Structures are given as C-alpha cells and as structure tokens.
C-alpha cells in the first residue's frame, strides 16, 4: 500500500507531519538512497527504504500516547543540543516519539508526545481550533479592557493573535483559552500592552487536563 512520505515519517516517530514536511523540503530525507524534496511523494513501506540523517527509518506498529507535565528549563523539540535539557530525556521508552506542538523552554505544564502522525496533526493544525488552556502570572495588575482587546484580536509582527476566552483569577493571574498556536503568542500579546509574563503553565489541551500529574512525570493514555 502506498502512503505519503510525510505520513510515514510521522508514524515512525521521526517528527510531526508538519515538521516532516519541513525535513523533506530541506533535503534531509532519502528514499532508496536518493534525496526527495517533493511533498506528496508516495512510498511503499514494504519495499522502499527511508533514511533520515543516514539512518534507516522503520514505521512503528505500536501507537504511543503520552502526557507529560513539563518543567521549566526543558526544550520541546526532537533536536538535542549539548548542555540543553530536553523533554525526551524525561520520557525514556524504546519507541521513537516526538512532541505534539511545543511549550517554550521557560514555560511548563501539559504536553503530549506520540508517534501517531494523524492524531498529532489534528491537535496542532489551526483549522481544527483545538482549545489549549493556560494559567499565567504577570508582573502587574491586568486591565480587563486590554483582555477584551486581545479577545477581539490584534495584529502583531504580521500575525493576527487572539485569545478565545479569559478569566481573571486575581489581578496578576489569568486563566486563558487559545485555539491558534502561534509561536510565543501569549507572551507577545501581553508584551504588546507592557506586561511581562512571569509564569506560564498549560493545564489543558482539548478534553485532556493536566490534573494531579506531578511535575517532570509522564503517563500513557488512550485518546
């Protein structure tokens, strides 16, 4: 059966489907020894040999779904750098997995890891409008009028940034719900109004909540 190359890479735990597309376009994927840069290329997993970083990639038949309470100070990528702490160091299983979406290094809370490319795609692509809920702490009392402006949407650095909903817990602590997922979206929104985000914790993605999972710990679950 023929499948798209980016799906094969995602289901093999190399990277999410969107990241796999970037790897293909960058010429980092070989099929039967030849670099392939065309998106949509179809391969036969039973016959074709796929390489990434000159290593043979094999599709995992077992689907893994993991939730992690990410501590501050850890990056959430498949790339590892010397002296840098990575969430893959916290989740040590034999199967290859990758983060679903991201959390900034200085942020904490709920993040998923998987080798199911289709599931990861549905959680991360903006068209699906998946809710993500955060608790944030800022350096000075918030003005509700500014939160209302954020809810209406703002153009910042060429992108429309917007929160779906909010709840003021106390003047310097807010519960936010977002559905977009732009890089550093929350921090850019609050910085626009002169606030510094001191702490950012993701507590929910779609129907899954962080609950009582201890910081730095992880667990399997079934979506």
- How far CA 139 is from CA of 52, 192, 197, in Å, comes to 44, 14, 7
pLDDT tens readout for residues 124-150: 988 899 999 999 999 999 999 999 999
pLDDT tens readout for residues 148-180: 999 999 999 889 999 999 999 999 999 999 998
**pTM of this structure:** 0.81
**CA–CA dist 192, 40 (Å, integer):** 39
The pLDDT of residue 135 is: 98
Listed ranges 3-12, 79-88, 202-211; the one with the highest mean pLDDT: 202-211
Kindly name the residue from 48, 104, 175, 206 that is annotated as catalytic. 104
8 A C-beta contact, residue 69 and residue 109: yes
Split at pLDDT 50, 70, 90, the class of 95 is confident
The pLDDT of residue 33 is: 92
8 A C-beta contact, residue 110 and residue 202: yes
Domains parsed from the chain with CATH numbers: 3-57 (3.10.290.10), 65-125+211-220 (3.30.70.580), 131-205 (3.30.70.1560)
Active site residue 104: yes
The pLDDT of residue 15 is: 84
Mean pLDDT (whole number) for 197-209:
97
pLDDT tens readout for residues 23-69: 999 999 999 999 999 998 999 988 899 999 888 988 776 889 999 99
């Amino acid at each position: 059966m023929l499948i798209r190359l980016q799906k094969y890479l995602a289901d093999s735990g190399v990277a999410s489907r969107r990241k796999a597309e970037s790897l293909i376009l960058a010429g980092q994927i070989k099929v039967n020894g030849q670099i392939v840069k065309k998106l949509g290329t179809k391969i036969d997993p039973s016959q074709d040999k796929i390489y990434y970083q000159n290593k043979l990639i094999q599709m995992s038949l077992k689907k893994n779904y993991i939730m992690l309470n990410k501590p501050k100070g850890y990056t959430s990528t498949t790339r590892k750098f010397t002296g840098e702490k990575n969430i893959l160091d916290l989740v040590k299983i034999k199967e290859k997995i990758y983060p679903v979406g991201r959390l900034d290094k200085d942020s904490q809370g709920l993040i998923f890891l998987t080798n199911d490319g289709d599931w990861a795609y549905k959680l991360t692509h903006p068209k699906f409008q998946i809710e993500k809920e955060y608790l944030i702490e800022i350096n000075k009392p918030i003005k509700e009028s500014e939160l209302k402006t954020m809810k209406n949407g703002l153009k910042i650095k060429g992108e429309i940034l917007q929160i779906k909903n909010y709840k003021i817990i106390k003047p310097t602590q807010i519960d936010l719900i977002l559905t977009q997922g732009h890089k550093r979206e929350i921090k850019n929104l609050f910085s626009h109004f002169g606030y510094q985000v001191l702490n950012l914790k993701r507590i929910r993605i779609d129907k899954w909540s962080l609950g009582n999972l201890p910081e730095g710990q992880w667990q399997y679950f079934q979506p």
